[in-house]
Chains A and B, each alone.
Chain A
Amino acid sequence: MMILSGPPPRGRTLQTLIVVVTLALALAPLLFPGAKPLNVAAKVCVYALLGASYDLLLGYAGMVSFAHVMFFGVGSYGVGLALYGLGPSWGAAALGLAAALGVSTVLALAIGLLSLRVQAIFFTMVTLAVSYAFGVLASQLDWLTGGEDGRSFRVPEVLQPGFRLFGGPLFGVAFNGRLISYYLVFFVSLALFLALLRVVNSPFGRVLEAIRENPLRAEALGYRIVFHRTLATCLAAAGATAAGALNAVWLRYVGPDTALAGSIQIAILVVVVIGGMGTLYGAVLGAAVFVVAQNYLQALLGALSAGAADAGLPLLTGLFHPDRWLLWLGLLFVLAVYFAPAGLVGALRSKDEATP
C-alpha cells in the first residue's frame, strides 16, 4: 500500500528538505537532548498538522477562515477539561476528544451552512466574529474553563514525566513519559498529515480545486459548492481539533494563551503562506521555519535592539524590541503574499525545474 497518496513533492531540494525535517522530528529526542529542543520539535509537529488542515481550506478550497484557532481551542479545552474533571485516564481523554470533535463539527457545519450560501467573503467575516466571541466566552466562563488562568491537569500515567519504560536509559536516552508524549504527538500528527494528503488527492480534493479556480463552472458541472466547501470546513476543523488535543496533552495545561489567542491564528496563516499554499508539504516547512524563528528570532532581535540602544537610535530600539517579532514576521508575510504566493515550496520547485 502506498503511504504517500498522490504525487510526491516535486523537486529534489524539496524532497530532501521534507525528508530531513521528518527525520529530524522523528529522531529529535536522540539528536537534540534537553527540554527546550523537544518542546520546539513538538510544537513543529502540532503546527505542521494545524497548518496542513488549514491549507485544505486556504490552499485547496481558496477560503480564508479565522475560526481555525477556535477549533484548535475546542480540541485543547475538550481534552484538557475532561482530564481535569474526570482524572488522568485514557477513557477521559477519549471522551474529551470525542466531545470536542462533536462540538467542532457542529460549529463548522453551522458556520458553513449559514455563511456559504451567498458569498465566500461572508465566510471569512463570520468566522472572525464567531471565533472572537468564542474566545471571549471561554475566558469568561471561568467555572468551566478556569478563565484567564486556564487549567493545569494530569495526563495518563504513561505520559507523565516520572514514568520509565525500560527501567534505565537505552542508547543513552531515558525513555520517560515526556519522550512517549513526544512520540504520541509525532505519530498522530504524521498519521493525520498522511490522511489529509489522501483527502486532497482524492476526487473530493480535485473538486475543491475546481471550485477554487472557477466556482460557476464547477457548479455548472453539477458539483454542489456549498456542500463541498462545508465538508472541507468540517474536515479542516477536525484536523485543528486533533492538533489542539495533542497540544493540550503535550503542555499538560490549557488556557486562553495557549489555546485561543489571536496570535495563534496569525501563526497558522504565516505557516501556510510562507510554507506555500495549496501544497500541504508547505505546512511542514512553514511550521519548522516559523517555530524555529519564534524561538530563536527573539534572541536575535534582542541583540539588535541592544545594539541600536547603544548606538543611540531610540526608534530602531523600539522596532527591534523582542516583543515586536510579529512586526517582522508580518512584513515577511505581506512580501510572501506579493512576491512568492507559492511560498517556500514554490520557490524550491521553480529553482529545481529551472535547472534540470
Chain B
Amino acid sequence: MTASDFGAALPRPKRDLLPIFAPLIVAAIAAPFIGSASSFVTLTAAGVAMGMMIFTMASGLTLAFGMMDVLNFGHGAFISLGAYVATLVFTPLASWAQADSWPLNLALLALALAAAVVVCGLFGLVFERLVIVPVYGQHLKQILATIGGSIVAEQLLYALFGPDVIALAPPASFRGSFVIGDAAIEKYRVVATLVGLVVFVGLTLALNRTRIGLLIRAGVQDREMVEALGYRIDRLFVGVFMAGAALAGIGGVLWALYRQQVHASMGGELLVLCFIVIIIGGLGSVGGCFIGAILMALIDNYAGFLAPKLALVANILLMVAILLWRPRGLYPVGGR
C-alpha cells in the first residue's frame, strides 16, 4: 500500500477559497476611488511588495504560535537585528553597492540576506533558550518574559549600534523604476516581491512536501498526538523558532533597504503589522498569514493614498471587519 492509497481513502478536505478572493475584492473596490489607472498599478505593486515583506517577517511568528502556543513579543528584535546586519554587510562592501552591475549587486543582497539568516537564526536559538524555555506552557509569564526580552534586545541594539538612524541605500541597479505606460514601479519593490515569493514557495514546499514539514503541520494541528507517536516536538520547535527568527531577519533586511534606513524602533512598529496579519490570517496558518499580509498591505497603500493619516486606522478596521466575519481569522487552525 502506498501513501497515495491512504490519501484516496480519505475524504478530500473542503477547499475554502473565499479568503483568497478577498484581496481581489479589496482591489476592485478601491480602484474607482483611486481614479487613474497608473496610480492604481503603482499602489497595487507597492502593496504586493510590502505584503511579501510583512509575510516573510510574520510567517515564523504564526508557526511558532501554532506549534507551541508561544507568542513571541520579542519577534520585532529579530527584524531590527536583521536590518543592522545588513548595514554591517553593506558598509564594508560599499563599492559593490555602487557598481552598476546587477550580478555584483545581487551577490551583495544575497550576502546580506545570508548573513541575516545566520545571525538572526543563532540569536533566535539564544533567545529561545534564555527567555522562552524557562516559561514554557505558562502563558502570562511567557508574554511578560518575551516583552522583557524585547526591551533588553532593543536597548542592546542601541548600545551596540548607536541610537541614531543609519541610512542604507539599495544597490545601484535596484534604484529607479520600471515605467510601463504611465505607471512607475520601483525596481526594488520587484526585487523584494521576488524574494518574498521565493520564501513563500520554499516554505510551502517545505511544509507540504517534506517529512519535517508534515510533522510541523501535524504539530500545529495537535501537538499531544504527535508527541504520543514518539516525536520530540520540542526539538522540532527549536528549529521552527530559529527558522522564524531567520525569516524575520530576511524581512528586516528587505524592509531596511525598502525604507532606506535602519533604526531599532522599526522592529516594534513592524511587530504591530505582523500581529494584525496573523490575527487576520488565523493563528498558526501560513496560508492565512500570506493572504492576510497581502490584504493588509494593499489596504495600507490604498488608504495611504486616499487618506494618508488614516492608513493605520484602516488596518485596524480591516482587522475588526475580518474578526466580525470570522472570529478566529480567515483560516482557523485546529482547536483554536
CB proximity to A under 8 Å, residues B288-327: 309-310, 312-313, 315-316, 319-320, 323-324, 327
A-B contacts, 24 of them at CB < 8 A, read A58-B140, A64-B147, A120-B139, A121-B71, A125-B275, A125-B279, A128-B271, A128-B272, A129-B319, A130-B316, A133-B313, A133-B316, A137-B310, A137-B312, A273-B144, A323-B158, A324-B155, A327-B156, A331-B152, A333-B148, A334-B152, A337-B144, A337-B148, A338-B134
Determine if B180 is an interface residue (Cβ-Cβ < 8 Å).
Answer: no
In the bound complex, residues from chain A placing their C-beta under 8 Å from that of B309 are 137, 140-141
A104-136: CB near B (< 8 Å → 1, else 0) gives: 000000000011011111101110111011001
Cβ of A168: which chain B residues have Cβ within 8 Å of it?
none
Bound-state CA distance A141–B308 (Å) is 11
Question: Known: A129-B319, A141-B309. Contact between A326 and B148, CB under 8 A?
Answer: no
Provide the bound-state CA to CA distance between A125 and B320, in Å. Answer: 13
Contact for A324 among B158, B269, B313, CB less than 8 A: B158
Which residues from chain A sit less than 8 Å from chain B, CB to CB?
A: 58, 62, 64, 114-115, 117-122, 124-126, 128-130, 132-133, 136-137, 140-141, 262, 266, 269, 273, 315, 318-319, 321, 323-324, 326-327, 329-331, 333-334, 337-338, 341
B residues near A (Cβ < 8 Å) are 65, 71, 131, 134-135, 139-141, 143-145, 147-149, 151-152, 155-156, 158-160, 163, 268-269, 271-272, 275-276, 278-279, 283, 309-310, 312-313, 315-316, 319-320, 323-324, 327-328, 336
Choice from B71, B159, B272, B328 contacting A318 with Cβ under 8 Å: B159
A37 vs chain B, min Cβ distance (A)? 28
Q: A318 to chain B: which residues have CB within 8 Å?
A: 159-160
When chains A and B are docked, how far (Å) is the Cα of A342 from the Cα of B309? Answer: 42
Is the CB–CB distance between A64 and B151 below 8 Å? Answer: no
Please name the 4 residue pairs, one residue from A and one from B, whose CB atoms are nearest each other, closest first.
A330-B151, A327-B155, A334-B148, A330-B152
Cross-interface CB contact of B139 among A121, A126, A266, A319, cutoff 8 Å:
A121
Q: Which of B139, B315, B328 contacts A133 (CB 8 A)?
A: B315
B143 near A129 with CB under 8 A, answer no
A118 to B131, CA, bound (A): 27
* Distance in Å: Cβ of B84 to nearest Cβ of chain A: 14
Enumerate chain A residues within 8 angstroms of B144, measured Cβ to Cβ.
64, 269, 273, 333, 337
**Chain A residues whose C-beta falls within 8 Å of the C-beta of B275 in the assembled complex:** 125, 128-129
Q: Establish whether residues A330 and B148, one from each chain, have CB atoms under 8 Å apart when the complex forms.
A: yes
With both chains docked as a complex, state the minimum distance between the C-beta of B181 and any C-beta of chain A, in angstroms.
Answer: 33
CA distance A133 to B131 in the complex (A): 28
> Closest residue to B268 on the A side, CB-wise?
A262
Q: Is the CB of A132 within 8 A of B272?
A: yes
Partner of B312, one of A122, A136, A327: A136
CB-contact partner of B323 in A58, A115, A136, under 8 A: A115
Give the docked Cα–Cα distance between A125 and B149 (Å). Answer: 17
Min CB gap B79→A, angstroms: 15
Tell me if B316 and A269 are in contact (CB < 8 A). no
Q: Is the interface of B mostly helix, strand, loop or mixed?
A: helix
Main DSSP-derived SS at the A contact region:
helix
Residues of B within 8 A of A331 (CB): 148, 152
- On chain B, the residues within 8 Å of A130 by CB distance are 316
Which residues of A have CB within 8 Å of B327? 117-118
| CB-defined contacts of B148 to chain A, threshold 8 Å | 330-331, 333-334, 337
Residue in A114, A117, A333 whose beta carbon sits within 8 Å of that of B320 in the complex:
A114
Are A323 and B139 in contact (CB-based, < 8 A)? no
**Shortest Cβ distance from residue B227 to the other chain A in the assembled complex, whole angstroms:** 22
Contact, CB under 8 Å: B151 / A266:
yes
| Closest beta carbon of chain A to B135's beta carbon, Å | 7
Residues of chain B lying within 8 A (CB to CB) of residue A140: 309
Shortest beta-carbon distance from B163 to chain A in Å: 7
Q: Which residues of B contact A323 (CB under 8 A)?
A: 158, 163
The answer to whether B155 and A338 have CB atoms under 8 Å apart is: no
Contacts of B134 in A (CB 8 A): 338
B123 to chain A, nearest CB (A): 16
- Cβ B140 vs Cβ A269 within 8 A: no
Q: In the complex, A101→B37 CA distance in Å? A: 45
Say whether A338 contacts B316, CB under 8 Å.
Answer: no
A residues within 8 A CB of B323? 114-115
- Residues of B near A136 (CB, < 8 A) are 312
Bound Cα distance A71, B315 (Å): 20
**Distance in angstroms between the alpha carbons of A262 and B150 in the assembled complex:** 13
Give 14 new A-B contacts, CB below 8 A, not counting A121-B143, A121-B283, A137-B309: A64-B144, A117-B327, A119-B283, A125-B275, A132-B272, A133-B272, A133-B312, A266-B151, A269-B147, A326-B151, A329-B151, A330-B151, A333-B148, A341-B141
